[in-house]
Amino acid sequence: MEQTDLRARAATPAVRPVTPQQRSARAARNGGEPTLEFADRVPYDAYVHASTLHTLQQPLSADPGEMSFLMVSQIMELYFGLTCHELRQARDDLRADRVWAALAPLRRATLHLEGLNAAWRGLRWMTPADFNRFRNLLGEGSGFQSAMYRQLEFLLGLREPALIRPFRRQTQVYDELHAALAVPSLWDEVVALLGRHGHDLPAELLTRDVAVEHLPHPRVEAAWVTVYDDGGPDNHLRQLGDALADVAEQFGDWRWNHVKAVQRTMGAKVGSGGSAGLAWLQRSMSRVVFPELWSARTAM
């Protein structure tokens, strides 16, 4: 199978880099019109793999509305992965004390989360009657089982090791999630950064088991109060706090939009994946992302 995949990749025409001079020469030859003839695969498709993407929608029913449900779910999966990519970069930057550099991926992550939230609009038409036309065909399939969403939660510091159990028979996915739990979250790296920048944090907080969810600590809250008391223009930690707050807000909006979508499409029925559905989602929202960043505002 691996050799087949390698041969397929080798047979796929690669995107050929061009220089600004080559682009200008091509435009001159074309008289300003777009190129219409290519020796191999269209370069856009070679880069984006659009022809592959559009084969991945395989509805289980003849209901026309199911395509919206399926494709919006896939769009959200892509946004989960993109946001994880940005948060990992920010985490790496903070671990290396590159606070200014971390602001850019955090800003991008916020914008990606805005796109993720906008995706819910594509399902606002769906009523319980609409969902019921194909819901039974999904079996036990549930968004709860999204491995990339778990990766996103783990990066944000929401860590519950038991939630990787559904993937035990998907060994690669399980191993990736297990490995993610062994690495400090973005918030763990923020707390470590505060300690390195002179804030009085206990050693046991900085050396704790990162696989377990971080519990709010009064010293971390006090550190953020101190950070925000400094109104200087070069207070990069304050700018970091603002960037993190934007990420947390957008993620919180996504969770709330999820609750509203469930209310709209299935009310308080039990979930497809075995949970209590709406009630389970509402309880999960009590777990706060970057908790001391918010509690510190009461003490400011």
Tell me: is residue 287 an annotated ligand-binding position. Answer: no
**Rounded to an integer, what distance in angstroms lies between the CA atom of residue 185 and that of residue 214?**
9
Cβ atoms 159, 129 nearer than 8 A:
no
Residues 6 or more apart in contact with residue 173 via CB below 8 angstroms: 147, 167
Classify residue 90 by burial, with Cβ atoms within 10 Å: 0-12, 13-18, 19+: buried
**Rounded to an integer, what distance in angstroms lies between the CA atom of residue 188 and that of residue 95?**
10
| Residue 13 φ then ψ, to 5° | -60, 130
Cβ atoms 205, 191 nearer than 8 A:
yes
**Rounded to an integer, what distance in angstroms lies between the CA atom of residue 298 and that of residue 300?**
6
Q: How far is residue 166 from each of residues 133, 147, 230, 269, measured CA to CA in Å? A: 27, 9, 46, 22
Tell me: is residue 258 an annotated ligand-binding position. Answer: yes
**Rounded to an integer, what distance in angstroms lies between the CA atom of residue 91 and that of residue 88?**
5
The sign of the CA dihedral 187, 168, 165, 72 is positive
Helix (H, G, I), strand (E, B) or coil at 216: coil
Neighbours of 25 (CB within 10 A): 12
- Nearest Cα to 144, choosing from 127, 167, 123? 167
**Rounded to an integer, what distance in angstroms lies between the CA atom of residue 164 and that of residue 153?**
12
Annotated binding site: 135, 258
Annotated binding site for substrate: 135
Annotated binding site for heme: 258
